[in-house]
Amino acid sequence: MITIDNNPEFGIELVLTIPYAHWLHKNNQLEKVITSEGMKPFYYFSDDVQEKYNHRTIDNSVSGLKSLPNDWIYGNVNNAKLYSESWEHWKNFYDIEKGCGILNYKQWDMPNYNEHYKNDEITFDKPIVVISNRYNFEHGHKPVGYFDIKCLSEMFYYLTESGYTVIYKRPKNTEFPLDQNEINSYMNNFELTDDVEDLGVISDYKLTEYYDDVHLLDDVVNKYPQYTYNEVQLKLFANTDGFIGMGGGSTLLLCLFQKPTLAYYGRRMVEANRKYFWKDEFGNKNIKNYHYMINPNIKPFIDVDGKDMVENNYGEFLNLVKETFNETD
């Protein structure tokens, strides 16, 4: 029997730790999971979960990952060969410097969160789209990977006019154990604001108040005090029709539900720049990338230089939003 004990970054735990724990459970080999505070709902299949850690770490050497079959989220550079008999394009993704997100899936089985957390309690009258944003320090740099006020306003308007209820999520870094990047953000008290015509300087949270069908995730959480923050997220997301996310661990959370998921990757995000992470030079999709293995319905929007966001253009991205989320009946 095996005990798992680690506290890596949130996204890494979703991709590397949880599927291994679930595989052990299905094969009657899981004894116990030791994890970070608030994570027990993600291990619903285990009878013995200890929420030991009140912090996370971006230092993989001390996070406990070395005890897992996959100890690096970008995988071994030669992993593509594992699928040589089932994947016609495996050679194109073989021996890629630094790895392109292909894992060894032999001891990897993602739980069915959609099935387990589907409910009749946390619902809305209209189809739901969750927009997951972030505004954090990124490895010592000030925030660059985020949806700004103008982009959010465009998405809120289009989606609500098209018949959707929008749930807006941007953590304040008080909801869960933090890693070093999130601690820097919390200590610097960053606010996402902009000067909006006729409204003055407002925050992204305040922006939601100008739309009848846009709600803060925090407000939804507060309506269900009998549940933890993560329990509300999981129950709500299981009832959600689709997602829009700003790369990173929060988008991997959205992918767990295998709904249409539009994800932005640009600028300093590794997934935007790593060779063959999404597709090869011939346009063949990297179907063994952990994103696609978790959610084949993900639509990555790759904006390597960040022009679509930085130059306040958004045209291509918003077109993909409209293509993904058509008007409801």
Whether pTM exceeds 0.75 = yes
DSSP 245-286: EESSHHHHHHHTT-S-EEEEEETT-HHHHSTTSSB-TT--B-
Structural contact between residues 108 and 19, judged by C-beta atoms closer than 8 angstroms: yes
Alpha-carbon distance of 136 to 134, in angstroms, equals 6
Percent of the chain residues topping a pLDDT of 70:
91
What confidence tier does 185 reach under pLDDT thresholds 50, 70, 90? very low
Q: Provide the angle, in degrees to the nearest 10, between the axes of the packed helices 315-324 and 149-161.
A: 30
Q: What's the confidence (pLDDT) of residue 312?
A: 59
What does the mean pLDDT of the chain come to? Answer: 89
Q: What's the confidence (pLDDT) of residue 34?
A: 96
pLDDT of 239 higher than 70: yes
Q: What's the confidence (pLDDT) of residue 311?
A: 67
Q: What's the confidence (pLDDT) of residue 186?
A: 46
Alpha-carbon distance of 176 to 173, in angstroms, equals 7
Q: What's the confidence (pLDDT) of residue 173?
A: 57
Measured over the CA atoms of residue 300, residue 323, residue 293 and residue 286, the dihedral's sign is negative
Question: Which CATH number does the domain 115-267+305-324 belong to among 1.10.600, 3.30.70, 1.10.357, 3.40.50?
Answer: 3.40.50
The tens digit of pLDDT for each residue in 186-238 reads: 445 567 888 788 778 889 999 999 999 999 999 999 999 999 999 999 999 99
Hey, is 3 helix, strand or coil? Answer: strand
What confidence tier does 137 reach under pLDDT thresholds 50, 70, 90? low
Q: Are strands 165-169 and 214-216 parallel, antiparallel or unpaired?
A: parallel
The tens digit of pLDDT for each residue in 241-251 reads: 999 999 888 89
Structural contact between residues 168 and 214, judged by C-beta atoms closer than 8 angstroms: yes
The tens digit of pLDDT for each residue in 1-18 reads: 999 999 999 999 999 999
Q: What's the confidence (pLDDT) of residue 138?
A: 64
Q: What's the confidence (pLDDT) of residue 60?
A: 81
Give the residue with greater pLDDT, 125 vs 304.
125
The tens digit of pLDDT for each residue in 268-316 reads: 677 878 899 999 999 999 999 999 999 999 999 998 877 777 765 778 8
**Domain residues of the chain, as ranges?**
1-69, 115-267+305-324
State mean pLDDT over 94-118.
96
State mean pLDDT over 149-159.
94
